[in-house]
Amino acid sequence: MSMFCFQCEQTAGCTGCTVKGVCGKNENTANLQDALTGQLIGLARACYGNEPTDSAYKALIDGLFMTLTNVSFDDEAIERQIKLVAEEKAKLVLGCSACGAPCSRNDAYDMNRIWEADEDIRTLKSLVLFGMRGMAAYAYHGWMLGKINQEVNRYFVKGLASIGEDLPAEDFLNLAMELGMVNLTCMELLDAANTGTYGVPYPAKVTCNVEPGPFIVVSGHDLHDLKLLLEQTEGRGVNIYTHGEMLPAHGYPELRKYAHLKGNFGTAWQNQQREFDSIPAPVLFTTNCLMPPKASYADRVFTTAVVGYPGMNHIGDDKDFTPVIERALALGGYSRERRMTGINGGDVLTTGYGHGTVLSVADKVTEAVKGDNPSFLPGRRL
């Protein structure tokens, strides 16, 4: 068994990937992600008894997000993050690892120790670890919009540091329950960040047809990156289409005001290798659900933020999307409108039914649930 990973629903045989990840990551990448996680535990330990800086918290969040499924396959990027985390740890406990004391409490944790533990312990540790990786995605997106919550940050420290300890099962169960509560706080943070920046979503019909001319497909979840791309493409004759989990972007007023945000391309993320195969346009991945690109379209894939794949074009922290835009212009798009049907048998999707919209008509929803109300039928205006 050259690797072991069972953190997502893709795992081989519903048990775990032991040779190569079903997601596409290889043995070396899996081991580097384990090494990064061990370094994150070391940094979290160092945060206890010290005053963590924003850069230390950001290193924890970015590192956890980078180990989430379908985010980074780039070994060099993971190695850089390992080095960055070690540097942040050294700022908090200068010379700790070199002092020669036997405690080594701030050293990187050996992730193999998890699998040596009692079955209940390793199950609970894994539950907490995987939950924090998911929560880190929310925290990351909120951070990009200037929303930071210290309760959430402190839990990342507490959760990671605890994984490196030999605690009883009851303690890890309590830690998992606490994670659920903190995750709600983190989701509220992200909701406030999104609605505060882009407005409260409201229902929208989204075409799945692609107009003639240059276009860019944007995948992932990062609304901040989408907004920057919309700004940089305005007036350039390049249309923008969302993909996968980016579909809800069409519900936000501050994004919908861009006339060249045209519609949604393709179906679910797992179909990307087929759907991106021959399109005359580049694809920008802002967060996860990147799959290993096929050779037929690899030169048209761009990544940014913590997303990465070896050999792919990566947009750095300057968020200058000029290479993506120029590629779209060079490819030219379709010469005539293309109907991208196949989504529930039609060419239009609806989105924007966030909790704000639903709560605004809560009385009508309640009335419809309680009784047979013919005025509240699918397709009718609320």
pLDDT along the chain (382 residues), means of 10: 85 89 93 95 92 96 96 96 96 70 62 85 95 97 96 97 94 97 97 96 94 96 97 98 95 97 91 92 93 94 95 95 98 90 71 87 86 55 42
Largest CA distance in the chain: 76
Q: What is the rounded CA–CA span in Å between residue 201 and residue 354?
A: 6
Encode pLDDT of 98-125 as tens digits: 555 444 455 678 888 887 888 999 999 9
Closest CA to 207 of 256, 152, 142: 256
3 state DSSP class of 349: strand
The pLDDT tens digits for 195-220 are 999 999 999 999 999 999 999 999 99
Q: What percent of the chain has pLDDT over 70?
A: 92
CB 307 within 8 A of CB 71: yes
Q: Residue 74: helix, strand or coil by DSSP?
A: coil
- How confident is the model at residue 14, as a pLDDT? 87
Q: Are 288 and 140 in contact (CB under 8 A)?
A: no
Q: CA torsion sign, 23 to 24 to 27 to 28? A: negative
- Report the Cα 236 to chain-centroid distance in Å: 29
Question: Could you please report the per-residue DSSP string of 242-310?
Answer: E-GGGGGGGG-HHHHT-TTEEEE-SS-GGGHHHHTSS-SS-EEE-SS---PPPTTTGGGEEEETT-B-T
- Each domain of the chain, given as residue ranges in start order, spans 12-197, 204-351, 355-382
Residues forming beta bridges with residue 308, ordered by sequence position: 72
Per-position b or e across 139-165, b if 16+ CB within 10 A of its CB: bbbbbbbebbbeebbebbbbbbbbbbe
pLDDT digits (tens, 9 = 90+) for 272-322: 999 999 999 999 999 888 999 999 999 999 999 999 999 999 999 999 999
Q: 210-238 in b/e burial notation, b at 16+ Cβ within 10 A?
A: bbebbbbbbbbbbbbbbbbbbebbeeeeb
DSSP codes joined into one string, 32-71: HHHHHHHHHHHHHHHHTTS---HHHHHHHHHHHHHTSTTT
Question: By three-state DSSP, how is residue 207 classified?
Answer: strand
The C-alpha atoms of residue 232 and residue 211 are separated, in whole angstroms, by: 19
CA pair distance 17, 19, nearest whole angstrom: 6
CA distance 324 to 100: 50
Any idea which fold 204-351 has?
Rossmann fold (3.40.50)
153, 52 in Cβ contact below 8 A?
A: yes
Give alpha helix (H) positions in the chain.
27-47, 54-66, 75-92, 112-116, 119-144, 150-163, 169-198, 223-233, 253-256, 272-275, 322-331, 355-360, 362-370
Q: Identify the pLDDT of residue 252.
A: 97
Which of 331, 289, 315 minimizes the C-alpha distance to 225?
315
Radius of gyration of the chain (CA): 23
- Written as one letter, the residue type at 140 is Y
Q: What are residue 2's phi and psi, to 5 degrees?
A: -80, -20
Q: pTM of the entire structure?
A: 0.90
**Alpha-carbon distance values, 34 to 41, 63, 369 (Å):** 11, 11, 48
Into which CATH architecture does domain 12-197 fall? Up-down Bundle (1.20)
Q: Which long-range contacts (CB under 8 A, 24 or more apart) does 277-281 make?
A: 279/217, 280/331, 280/332, 280/333, 280/334, 281/214, 281/215, 281/216, 281/217, 281/328, 281/331, 281/333
